[in-house]
Amino acid sequence: MKSVYFDSAATTKVRDEVIKDMQAVLAENYGNPSSTHAFGRSSKSIIESARKTIAKHLNALPQEIIFTSGGTEADNMILRCAVRDGNVKTIITSPIEHHAVLHTVEELRNEYDVTVEYVKLLHCGTPDYSDLERLLSANDERKLVSLMHVNNEIGNILDVKKVAHLCQTHNAMFHSDTVQSVGHFSWDVQDVPIDFMTAAAHKFHGPKGIGFAFIRKNSNFKPLIFGGSQERGYRAGTEPVHNIKGLETAFVLAYDNLEAESAYIQDLKDYFKTKLKEAIPGVKYNGNCEDQVKSTYTLINVCLPMSPEKALTLQFQLDLKGIACSKGSACQSGSGKGSHVLAQILSEEDMNKPSIRFSFSSYNTKEEIDYVVDVLKAFV
C-alpha cells in the first residue's frame, strides 16, 4: 500500500537537520539554563541565540520573542494578558478563528465580562473590513482585534497590513494567530504594526511542543505562569533547550528555502486543482482556494459531489488507501462535530457533502497527487 501524507497543515515531517541538531543538544547541552556554571551558560547561550535569530528575521527585538509550548499557549497568553493587564474591554474577532482563540475569548467573557464582537464575513470567509472599522469606531473602550493571518482550514489570507493600520487609527491592539503563516510567509513587524503574533515549530518542519509569542515591547504584561524568572518573567519553567534549538534550525531552514519551496508547493497545489477538476467536474473549492493571492499555497479545501450516506465512509476509504488528510482541521477531526469554519460559509446542501483539506509540503510529489486524484475519482 502507498503511504501519502497530505496533512502538513496539521503537522509537518521534521527535517533531518532539525533532528540532528536536537540530538546534539540532548547529548551535550544538558545543563539547566538558569544555572550559573559553564553547563548552564552553554544551554542559556543556545536559547538566546535562537531568540536573536527569530527576532532578527521578524525585524523585532530579542526581548519581544517569548518561547512557549506552541501556538495554543501563545494565543491564550496574549489574549488573557491583554484583558487582565492591558485594560481591554472589547475583543473583536471572527467566527472562523482557531478554537485556541474562540474558546479563550469565551472564557474571558465569562471571567472578566469583556464584550466579544464578531466581525461579519464575506461569502468566501474573508472578514468584512468595513464592518471591522464599524466595530472599531463604535465607542472609546480599549479594544483588541484578534484575526488569524492564514486560516488553518480554508487557507484564506488576511490583509494584515490593512487590519494593523485600522487598529492603529482607532487606538486598538492587534493580535494575529500566525501559526499557519510563520515559516511560510515573510514577516516584518516594523512594516506591519502588529502588536502580537504566535508561531508553532511543528508547522514548519520543527518539533512539537515548542513555539513562540511575539509581544511588542511596553505591553506591560505580567506573568501567566508563575515560578522562576525564565522568559523575561513572562513564563516560568525550565526551558526545553533541545526543542528551542530545533525551532531555530527549522525556522532558519524555512526562510533560507522559502522562495524555492513556496514556488514548488504552489505548483503542486495548482497541479492538484487542475487534475481534480478534470477527474471530478463537480468538485468545488471552499473559501478562496482557487485564488493564488487570497489563499495560501500550502493547502486546499475541496467539497466533493456525493451523497451524505456515501460521504460517511470517504475518509475511512482514503485511510485504507494510505492517504493522510483532514476533514476540517486536525484539531477538530476527533470531536465528532462538523467544521465551525465551513458552517459559516457553505450552503446547507454543501455542508451535507464531504469537504476535505489537503495540505502540502516540499516532501510531496506530483506522482502522489496523481494517486490521490485516482483514488478520489474511483470513489466518487
- CA 297-298-299 angle, 5° bins: 100
Q: Do 161 and 227 lie in a common domain?
A: yes
Q: Tell me: the pLDDT tens digits for 234-277?
A: 899 999 999 999 999 999 999 999 999 999 999 999 999 999 99
Catalytic choice (167, 289, 303, 331): 331
Task: Answer whether residue 18 shows pLDDT above 60.
Answer: yes
- How many structural domains is the chain composed of? 2
Q: Is 331 among the catalytic positions?
A: yes
Q: Tell me: the pLDDT tens digits for 282-328?
A: 999 999 999 999 999 999 999 999 988 888 889 899 999 999 999 85
pLDDT of residue 332: 44
Q: Do 220 and 344 lie in a common domain?
A: no
Q: Which of 208, 232, 256 is the last residue of a domain?
A: 256
| Percent of the chain residues past pLDDT 90, beyond the cut | 91
Mean pLDDT, rounded, of the chain: 95
pLDDT of residue 326: 92
Residue 310 neighbours by CB under 8 Å, 6+ apart: none
CA distances from 235 to 31, 61, 202, 232 (A): 19, 18, 20, 7
Residue 140 lies in domain: 16-256
Cα(207)–Cα(245) distance, integer angstroms: 10
Q: Do 140 and 116 lie in a common domain?
A: yes
- Which CATH number do you get for residue 268? 3.90.1150.10
Mean pLDDT of 339-361: 94
The three grid cell numbers given for residue 180, joined into one nine-digit string: 499557519
Q: Do 92 and 159 lie in a common domain?
A: yes
Q: Do 269 and 246 lie in a common domain?
A: no
Q: Which of 256, 274, 308 is the last residue of a domain?
A: 256
Give which of 34, 58, 27, 59 is closest to 48, Cα–Cα.
34
Confidence of residue 330 (pLDDT cuts 50, 70, 90): very low
The three grid cell numbers given for residue 258, joined into one nine-digit string: 522559502
3-state secondary structure of 102: helix
Q: Do 159 and 239 lie in a common domain?
A: yes
The letter for the amino acid at 16 is D
Cα(160)–Cα(166) distance, integer angstroms: 10
Q: Do 265 and 250 lie in a common domain?
A: no
Q: Do 244 and 274 lie in a common domain?
A: no
CA distances from 355 to 10, 29, 174, 286, 324 (A): 16, 46, 31, 8, 14
- Which CATH number do you get for residue 107? 3.40.640.10
Could you tell me the pTM of the whole model? Answer: 0.94
| φ/ψ of residue 376, rounded to 5 | -65, -45
Q: Do 232 and 307 lie in a common domain?
A: no
Q: Tell me: the pLDDT tens digits for 77-119?
A: 999 999 999 999 999 999 999 999 999 999 999 999 999 999 9
Q: Which of 256, 272, 293 is the last residue of a domain?
A: 256
Q: Tell me: the pLDDT tens digits for 171-225?
A: 999 999 999 999 999 999 999 999 999 999 999 999 999 999 999 999 989 998 9
| φ/ψ of residue 355, rounded to 5 | -115, 130
Q: Do 60 and 191 lie in a common domain?
A: yes
Q: Do 274 and 360 lie in a common domain?
A: yes
- Which residue matches cell numbers 514577516? 187
Q: Do 150 and 192 lie in a common domain?
A: yes
